[in-house]
Structures are given as structure tokens and as C-alpha cells.
Chains A and B, each alone.
Chain A
């Protein structure tokens, strides 16, 4: 603690840094404390609110699952193999972070819209993206997959390749070496990437609203209440969402942290 105020430079750094912390924490706190617990409780009893929060959690979970299945292998390849177009692949993975999210929504609409080839192909199986839950899932997937892929890649990069080589000499096939050595050792990074991706998906608004205004995910519902009924009605919904997200995020972080200490 003393080291924070060791000299004048540090003191000024502490002041400047605190401004930023305050900038984040104050509005959050202000929103949460603006509504009384009874109002929050009533908001929670509102079926529309509950359904929308449920849909948000669920969609982001599915998006994280899809990113896990395809993103973990990609992350492993990026961590282990040098190939000529690697810079391009890495760039593509980072693109969703820089593209405006509403533009991402438009882009997805161009490929998964009703009249597109993919849209019609999925339509044959009864899956539609526009104004439907699958649209929410792909919007969330698009804007948040970078978090998982990059975290997993860092996780795999931190695993000494010689651990895999030893496992191979001990009789492990490439598959068993991956599941017995590489994956468990990168698991912490993968898990924290999944939590980050899932949390990022929950808060997605721009891409989702283009593909699926209905059914409403929590950020869209919040926007609609604000637009239609004003700040007074939007505030408790915002507070409730923040509380739920913060609680879930903290709980997940804690479990991940405990595992870290335990291993």
C-alpha cells in the first residue's frame, strides 16, 4: 500500500488512475442505488424482463459453445504452427473487435438473411436467423469470438511444446497428447476466455438489434423501455441487468480462481 505513494510521481499517477476508476464505478453504482430494492424485485417479477434475461444468457452460452468447438482447434494451430498466411488469419480473428458492431450485424444479414443462400439452406431445417434466437446467437458469436480464440491461443503458447513431445514418446497419439497434456494445461486461459466471451456476448446490442429486434435480449429490451417510457422505467431494468451480470461474472471468476489455486 505504501508503495503506491512512494514518491510524487506515483501520487500523481494514483490520482490520474483513480479518475478512470471513478468514471466506471460511479455511474454503475448510481444506477444500482437509484432504484429501491422493492422496485428491483418488482422488475424481476416482470415476465418480459425475466424472459429477456434468460434469452440473453442462453444465447451467449450457445455462442460460447460454438466458439469453443471451432475456436479451440484454431487457437491450438495458431499457437503451434507457423504457416505463410498466419498473419492474415490472426487479423481476421481480431476484426470483430474493430468493426462497428452494427456494421457487423449488416454484414451477417448479407450472408444469413432470408433470401441468401445460407439463410435458405438453414431454412430447410427450420432454422431462421432474422428475428429469431439463432440470429442472436450468430451476432453474439461474431462480435465476441476473438476473446476466446486469443485467450486460448495464449494458453496453448504457454504450454512447453516439449511436454507434448515427452507425452508422444511415452506412447501418446496426437489426440491423446492434446487431451491429456495441452488442453488441461491451457484450461485456465481457455476458461477465462470463455467467461470473457460469454460476458461480452451478454452485453451485445448493435449486431443483435440489426438481426433480431425480436425476441428481445436484455440490452434491446432496455433500449426499448428507454425509448418508449423514458429513464424512470429503463433505470430498474438497467440496474437489475448490471447486478445479475456482475454477480455471475464474479461467481465465475471466483470458481476459476479457486481452481487455479487448487491445482
Chain B
């Protein structure tokens, strides 16, 4: 088991040529999986590099377990760093890449072999050990980069968009693997991403980093909100998050399996039939255009049907956005034509129908 630490960032200012990060404050608890969510170019990488000691801030302090490490060199901070595009040592085999940090610590050969084997098994890359980095696929390379960072048992793991260079399928697999490894090792993790789903799926808490224009060319980044995934999507305070959450049906719940099938139990008491292999707490996303509205119960193959009351109808031209309180509150998109057919009005009772396969889980 690795020892994990808490991290505090106090009033951090970072200056780059046309960009600065303003007054960043973060409190990451020991063992927490903390996600910093922000659009591309909002200074996320520099923030991580500063926490790692690779970049000197203009002002502010960084504390690890209460100790000020702002002036400590990176090699003294006990950090594992994983970049978006892997950054493996191209002149070393996979095994030598993973062993790199252990060799620097003058670990004896036996222990190195044993640890390299253990961590390559943890990440399912045992069969790649003799390969050179140039011959690996993106997903493989990223798992090697993770193994290289984890094998030295860092007190803090810093992940810079670790999944963004991967194709969707690999991304999901590695995302699950990241969650599993975190549960297993408990290393305090700071993960930056621009991917909302990734943030919600992995983060115990999320910090929302917003980018602002200052003057003509200068831009600045600052943290506008920190909270659990639910808090973030219930009250998004940045446009970036709001644009993702906006109008969508996003819920959190627990996966339940029984004789009737697989469901997600929502806080509002509703059970949503889903198709998934995920377990535990998950996020659900139902696209508004996948929800059918009807005045009576629809008899169809769709396994989800809830009654509710129309609370709002927003006319946006060709389509209309209808909000229905079940509870919870759902949003459906309907065409002008079906709106006229249904003759929907505020306060009216309707039924919502959607397929189990239309529920996206992450």
C-alpha cells in the first residue's frame, strides 16, 4: 500500500507569456481522486507541472501533508507524472522504462524485477515488457507510462489528460482501469481533463477551471467551483460545464441488479432500466431527443416509462424543449409537429418513454 498525502495549493499565480493562472487554491485530501476540469488551453498542464516542481510559480505556496514544498526540486517531491501523449523514453524497452525510477533509487535488481512484474500485471502489460515504445499502440503506451509512474510508489499521482489521446473504446477501458487502480492503491491523484464524462466518472471531487480573456491577447485561468460531480452538474458555474450539462438529463445513482434486470436507483426514488456492466455509483446521461412524450402510457419495447407534469416549454424554432417533473426533472426535445399533435401545456400530465439502451452510463 502506498502512503498518500494531502495537497494544498495556496494563492498560486503562474505567469506564462500570454497567459496566467490567477489565485489558484486547492485542497486535495489524502487518498482523494481529484479532477481539474477545464477547456483546452486553460493552463491545466502548467498547473500540474507547477505542483510537480517543474515550473516555478510567480507567487503562492504548495503544501504536501502540511509541509511547504514550493522550493523543493521535482525529484524530492515523490510524484508520479503521466502526460497525455505518454512521453516514454524512446531509447529504452518497456521494462527499462518502468524500471527507470527504481534504478535512479539504486534499488537492487531482484526488487526491480519483482516490482516491474507486479506493476506490469496490474496494468495488463506483462506481454509487452521486451518491446520498444515506438511499437506500442496508444492504449498500451499509456499503460506503460502509468506503470512507470506508479512503480516508484509516488505519494501523489499527477495525470495530465491521460485518456485524451486514445480512441473512445480504449479510453473507456483505461478509464475503468484508472478507477480500479485508485481503489486498489489509494494514491492521492490529481487528474486534469477537458472531458466532462471522464471528470464525473473518476472524480471524488471536481474543480472547474475557467478561462477568461483579459484585454486583447492575455488570457487568465482561475478556479470557479469545486464540488462533487452532483454539485457540479446541478449548479454549473462555468459556461464550459453548463454547455455540457445544459438541457441534458444527467443523474447520479447506484447500479442495482435483480430478477427484473439491471437498474440505476436515482436519489429521487426512480429506478431507470439500463444496459451496463458498470457497478457502484455511476452517472447517467439521457439525450433529450431520445425521450418520447405521450398523453397516455405507451406500450412499446422501451423499458423506461415515467409519468410527470410539464413544467416548462421553450420554443426554439423547429424543435421545442419540454421540461417534465417526474421527479426527477427530465428534459425532452420534440418537433413542432408532435407538439401540435400533443397540444402540450404547462401543468399537463404526460408520460416519458425511453429505451434502456438510450441511457448512457459513465
Q: In whole Å, how far is B190's beta carbon from the nearest beta carbon of chain A?
A: 13
* Contact yes or no, A167 B100, CB < 8 A: yes
* Contact yes or no, A170 B104, CB < 8 A: yes
B residues in contact with A181, CB < 8 Å: 89
Does B31 make an interface contact (CB < 8 A)? no
A residues in contact with B75, CB < 8 Å: 168-173
* Contact yes or no, B89 A165, CB < 8 A: no
B residues in contact with A171, CB < 8 Å: 75, 101, 104-105, 152
A167 to B104 Cα, complex, angstroms? 9
Does A103 make an interface contact (CB < 8 A)? no
Would you list which residues of chain B between 85 and 102 have a CB under 8 Å from chain A? Answer: 87, 89-91, 100-101
Does A176 make an interface contact (CB < 8 A)? yes
Contacts A168-B75, A173-B75; A162 near B83 (Cβ below 8 A):
yes
Among B77, B81, B158, residue most surrounded by chain A Cβ atoms (within 10 Å): B81
A residues in contact with B149, CB < 8 Å: 169-170
Does A184 make an interface contact (CB < 8 A)? yes
Q: In whole Å, how far is B354's beta carbon from the nearest beta carbon of chain A?
A: 45
A87 to B53 Cα, complex, angstroms? 29
B residues in contact with A176, CB < 8 Å: 104
The interface bits of chain A over 162-206 (1 if a CB of B lies within 8 angstroms of the residue's CB, else 0) are 110111111111001000110011000000000000000000000
* Contact yes or no, A169 B91, CB < 8 A: no
A166 to B49 Cα, complex, angstroms? 10
A166 to B101 Cα, complex, angstroms? 10
Does A2 make an interface contact (CB < 8 A)? no
* Contact yes or no, B87 A263, CB < 8 A: no
Does A160 make an interface contact (CB < 8 A)? yes
Does B252 make an interface contact (CB < 8 A)? no
* Contact yes or no, A165 B101, CB < 8 A: no
Does B194 make an interface contact (CB < 8 A)? no
A165 to B152 Cα, complex, angstroms? 16
A176 to B100 Cα, complex, angstroms? 11
* Contact yes or no, B104 A169, CB < 8 A: no
B residues in contact with A162, CB < 8 Å: 83, 87
B residues in contact with A172, CB < 8 Å: 75, 104
Q: In whole Å, how far is B78's beta carbon from the nearest beta carbon of chain A?
A: 8
Q: In whole Å, how far is B7's beta carbon from the nearest beta carbon of chain A?
A: 15
Contact residue range for chain B? 20 to 34
* Contact yes or no, B89 A168, CB < 8 A: no
* Contact yes or no, A184 B91, CB < 8 A: yes
Q: Point out the residue from A160, A168, A180 that lies within 8 Å of B54, measured CB to CB.
A: A168
Does B324 make an interface contact (CB < 8 A)? no
* Contact yes or no, A166 B87, CB < 8 A: yes
Q: Point out the residue from A170, A180, A184 that lies within 8 Å of B148, measured CB to CB.
A: A170
Q: In whole Å, how far is B81's beta carbon from the nearest beta carbon of chain A?
A: 4
Contacts A170-B101, A171-B101, A171-B104; A165 near B74 (Cβ below 8 A):
yes
Does B201 make an interface contact (CB < 8 A)? no
Total number of residue pairs linking A and B with CB closer than 8 Å: 60
A179 to B91 Cα, complex, angstroms? 13
Does B80 make an interface contact (CB < 8 A)? yes
Closest to B100 in A: A170
Q: In whole Å, how far is A43's beta carbon from the nearest beta carbon of chain B?
A: 44
* Contact yes or no, B49 A168, CB < 8 A: no
Contacts A169-B80, A170-B101, A171-B105; A163 near B87 (Cβ below 8 A):
yes
Q: Point out the residue from B79, B89, B90, B105 that lies within 8 Å of A169, measured CB to CB.
A: B79
A residues in contact with B77, CB < 8 Å: 169
* Contact yes or no, B91 A263, CB < 8 A: yes
Q: Point out the residue from B53, B81, B91 that lies within 8 Å of A166, measured CB to CB.
A: B81
* Contact yes or no, A163 B49, CB < 8 A: no
Q: In whole Å, how far is B92's beta carbon from the nearest beta carbon of chain A?
A: 9
Contacts A184-B91, A185-B91, A263-B91; A168 near B74 (Cβ below 8 A):
yes
Would you list which residues of chain B between 21 and 71 have a CB under 8 Å from chain A? Answer: 49, 52-54
Among B75, B80, B81, B152, residue most surrounded by chain A Cβ atoms (within 10 Å): B75
A63 to B317 Cα, complex, angstroms? 79
A residues in contact with B90, CB < 8 Å: 185
Contacts A170-B148, A170-B152, A184-B91; A165 near B105 (Cβ below 8 A):
no
* Contact yes or no, A165 B104, CB < 8 A: no
Q: In whole Å, how far is A98's beta carbon from the nearest beta carbon of chain B?
A: 33
Does B295 make an interface contact (CB < 8 A)? no
A90 to B11 Cα, complex, angstroms? 40
Closest to A176 in B: B104
The interface bits of chain A over 97-136 (1 if a CB of B lies within 8 angstroms of the residue's CB, else 0) are 0000000000000000000000000000000000000000
Q: In whole Å, how far is B239's beta carbon from the nearest beta carbon of chain A?
A: 30
B residues in contact with A180, CB < 8 Å: 100, 104
The interface bits of chain B over 147-161 (1 if a CB of A lies within 8 angstroms of the residue's CB, else 0) are 011001000001000
Does B328 make an interface contact (CB < 8 A)? no
Q: In the complex, given contacts A169-B74, A170-B104, A170-B152, what are 12 additional A-B residue pairs having Cβ atoms less than 8 angstroms apart?
A: A162-B83, A165-B49, A166-B81, A168-B53, A168-B73, A168-B74, A169-B80, A171-B104, A172-B75, A180-B100, A185-B89, A185-B90
User: Chain B interface (Cβ within 8 Å of chain A)?
Assistant: 49, 52-54, 73-75, 77, 79-81, 83, 87, 89-91, 100-101, 104-105, 148-149, 152, 158
Sampled A-B contacts (19; CB under 8 Å): A162-B83, A163-B87, A163-B89, A165-B74, A166-B81, A166-B87, A166-B148, A168-B53, A168-B73, A169-B52, A169-B74, A169-B75, A169-B77, A170-B80, A170-B101, A170-B148, A171-B101, A181-B89, A185-B91
Q: Which 4 A-B pairs have the closest CB atoms?
A: A170-B101, A168-B74, A169-B81, A171-B104
